[in-house]
């Protein structure tokens, strides 16, 4: 399930400002980082220069700037500072920004680089190889429970080899949680192979398979509102993306396809097994509910066998996914522990885990059970599950539920706690209208609309986003968001457009 967290209320769109903004003062930190980038460029160290450029580009995100402010920072500070060098080294910095930056950064840096080349100032030849590292080999470390994995890919610039390592959390929708870069590729692979965790496995994989394991989880680092990434990981993200694009897109082994029928078959197999006997005898409906919830969680990612579970995944599922998704009956809460314990033993046996791994799974359950009540009753969780109250059945496809959550959170972000107010029922259109009014009431329309007409249009856009009807509304919003627009401004802009009248 998509992560759900507290979000600040979207800022209101102000009336248009007059006058041109002055150049932002980059400050001592920016100056220091740009100095490190200059040193790397002067030394002709391509990998170091890429990492220093990535660190500079990470500053807006580290400072939690809004998307449009981040792009302004890159173009008004980084690009301008590099262009002001008016030298081959400045041109090299711009070439690095072109290689590693977002589409908007590429455009701004390309324009500045063109101005330098028009003045016969060119980047040194070595920097033209930026982003063209040759992939060599890939390795994967994973745990037997399917909770996480680490992908290492080595690359070569000339004779020098380096490695990119990505840590991927598989407990929810897969996302990269850490990135490392090292010039000691053999040392990293040796360390990876000598891990002492008895539940870890290491294998060499193909380059195309490495891309499949990394590409989407890397992209989610930008899609998640609060991914909790370290400063180093944010700095290395541009280089990691650049390297993954160098990996072949075709040639990986086919991913097994598991559909709803496979998950239903796993549930039936569990309910008929001796391990489920006590849970079924106590309350068959509750046992089926928990089996469907637990087995269905595997639908969130392609290729995961129905019912695969691990200690961290169980915690994520029972303390995050369930409280944020399902309204439980008294019987379902009462029979949680026996049903989940029986299902966990069955899952371990079904997936061939040995006694030690099974014991590790079972010993994690008491602590999770002890925290479930507080997690389920938390006001934020009560609010979160109201986003999918109309679509969250026990056998629902989790990836589809995640899509609903992402779209509806875009339409109506999680409200801020206000005083002693209780949970919010976002499934109630009246509540959504009240929150929308509070956000947009002070906006100034810019398309000849009266304020009443504008607010009516905003409510219409919110309803279209919530229901995904028409689907083009959210598609248009995603295109605008990808280009760097702010969520609030996107809804404002969509409201000023004429309403669709059909084909």
Q: Do residue 378 and residue 272 come from a single domain?
A: yes
| pLDDT bracket for residue 482 (50, 70, 90) | confident
Q: Do residue 183 and residue 236 come from a single domain?
A: yes
List pLDDT tens digits, range 111-157.
999 999 999 999 999 999 999 999 999 999 999 999 999 999 999 99
Q: Going along 120-174, which residue ranges are E strands?
A: 134-143, 148-157, 160-169
Q: Do residue 184 and residue 281 come from a single domain?
A: no
Q: What torsion do the CA atoms of 195, 196, 199, 203 make, to the nearest 10 degrees?
A: 30
Indicate the residue among 189, 220, 245 that finishes a domain.
Answer: 245
Q: Is position 139 within any domain?
A: yes
Q: Do residue 228 and residue 275 come from a single domain?
A: no
Indicate the residue among 129, 148, 168 that finishes a domain.
Answer: 129
Q: Do residue 105 and residue 181 come from a single domain?
A: no
What is the reported pLDDT for 25?
46
Q: Do residue 436 and residue 354 come from a single domain?
A: no
Q: Are 104 and 75 in contact (CB under 8 A)?
A: yes
**Whole-number Å distance between alpha carbons of 367 and 503:** 56
310-326: average pLDDT: 96
Q: Do residue 295 and residue 359 come from a single domain?
A: yes
Q: Do residue 389 and residue 280 come from a single domain?
A: yes
Q: What torsion do the CA atoms of 372, 375, 378, 383 make, to the nearest 10 degrees?
A: -110
pTM (2 d.p.):
0.84
Instruction: Tell me whether strands 134-143 and 200-205 are parallel, antiparallel or unpaired.
Output: antiparallel
Q: Do residue 138 and residue 237 come from a single domain?
A: yes
Q: Do residue 272 and residue 383 come from a single domain?
A: yes
3-state SS string for 279-292: HHHHCHHHHHHHHH
Q: Do residue 125 and residue 141 come from a single domain?
A: no
CA 247: distance to chain centroid? Answer: 21
Q: Checking phi first, is residue 352 left (phi over 0); if not, alpha (psi -120 to 50) or beta?
A: left
**Whole-number Å distance between alpha carbons of 123 and 95:** 7
List pLDDT tens digits, range 17-52.
333 333 344 467 788 888 999 999 999 999 999 999
The gap between the terminal CA atoms of the chain, to the nearest Å, is 34
List pLDDT tens digits, range 280-314.
999 999 999 999 999 999 988 888 999 888 999 99
Q: Is position 60 within any domain?
A: yes
Closest CA to 253 of 199, 202, 289, 212: 212
SS3 category, 199: coil
Say if residue 104's pLDDT is above 90: no
Say if residue 10's pLDDT is above 60: no
Indicate the residue among 245, 277, 303 that finishes a domain.
Answer: 245
3-state SS string for 446-494: CCCCCHHHHHHHHHHHHHHHHHCCCHHHHHHHHHHHHCCCCHHHHHHHH
Q: Which residues pair with 166 in a beta bridge?
A: 151, 179
**Whole-number Å distance between alpha carbons of 69 and 75:** 10
Q: Do residue 151 and residue 218 come from a single domain?
A: yes
Range of the domain at 463: 428-496
Domain count, the chain: 4
Q: Is position 16 within any domain?
A: no
């Amino acid at each position: 399930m998509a992560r759900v967290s507290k979000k600040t209320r979207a800022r209101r769109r102000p009336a248009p400002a007059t006058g041109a903004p002055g150049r932002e003062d980059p400050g001592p930190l920016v100056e220091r980082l740009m100095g490190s980038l200059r040193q790397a460029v002067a030394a002709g160290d391509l990998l170091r220069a890429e990492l220093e450029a990535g660190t500079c580009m990470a500053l807006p995100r580290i400072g939690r700037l809004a998307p449009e402010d981040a792009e302004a920072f890159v173009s008004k500070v980084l690009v301008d500072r590099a262009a002001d060098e008016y030298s081959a080294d400045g041109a090299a910095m711009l070439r690095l920004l072109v290689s590693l930056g977002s589409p908007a950064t590429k455009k701004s840096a390309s324009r500045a680089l063109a101005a330098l080349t028009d003045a016969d100032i060119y980047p040194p030849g070595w920097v033209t190889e930026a982003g063209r590292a040759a992939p060599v080999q890939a390795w994967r470390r994973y745990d037997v429970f399917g909770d996480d994995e680490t992908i290492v890919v080595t690359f070569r610039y000339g004779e020098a080899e380096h490695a990119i390592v990505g840590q991927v959390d598989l407990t929810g929708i897969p996302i990269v949680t850490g990135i490392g870069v090292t010039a000691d590729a053999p040392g990293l692979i040796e360390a990876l192979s000598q891990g002492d965790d008895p539940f870890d496995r290491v294998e060499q994989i193909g380059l195309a398979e490495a891309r499949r394991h990394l590409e989407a989880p890397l992209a989610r680092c930008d899609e998640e509102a609060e991914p909790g990434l370290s400063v180093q990981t944010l700095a290395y993200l541009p280089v990691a993306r650049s390297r993954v694009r160098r990996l072949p897109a075709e040639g990986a082994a086919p991913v097994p396809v598991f559909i709803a029928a496979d998950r239903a078959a796993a549930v039936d197999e569990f309910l008929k097994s001796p391990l489920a006997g006590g849970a079924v005898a106590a309350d068959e409906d509750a046992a089926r509910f928990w089996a469907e919830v637990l087995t269905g969680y595997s639908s969130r990612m392609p290729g995961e066998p129905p019912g695969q579970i691990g200690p961290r995944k169980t915690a994520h599922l029972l303390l995050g996914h369930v409280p944020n998704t399902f309204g439980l009956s008294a019987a379902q809460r009462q029979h949680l522990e026996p049903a989940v314990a029986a299902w966990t033993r069955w899952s371990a046996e079904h997936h061939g885990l040995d006694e030690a791994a099974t014991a590790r799974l079972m010993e994690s359950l008491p602590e999770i059970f002890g925290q479930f009540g507080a997690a389920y009753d938390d006001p934020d969780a009560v609010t979160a599950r109201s986003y999918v109250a109309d679509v969250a059945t026990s056998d629902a496809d989790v990836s589809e539920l995640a899509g609903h959550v992402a779209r509806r959170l875009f339409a109506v972000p999680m409200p801020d706690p206000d005083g002693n107010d209780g949970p919010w029922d976002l499934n109630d259109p009246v509540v959504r209208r009240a929150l929308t009014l509070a956000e947009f009431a002070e906006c100034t329309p810019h398309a000849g609309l009266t304020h009443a007409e504008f607010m009516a249009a905003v409510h219409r856009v919110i309803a279209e986003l919530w229901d995904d009807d028409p689907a083009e509304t959210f598609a248009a919003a995603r295109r605008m968001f990808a280009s760097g627009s702010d969520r609030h401004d996107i809804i404002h802009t969509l409201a000023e457009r004429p309403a669709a009248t059909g084909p």
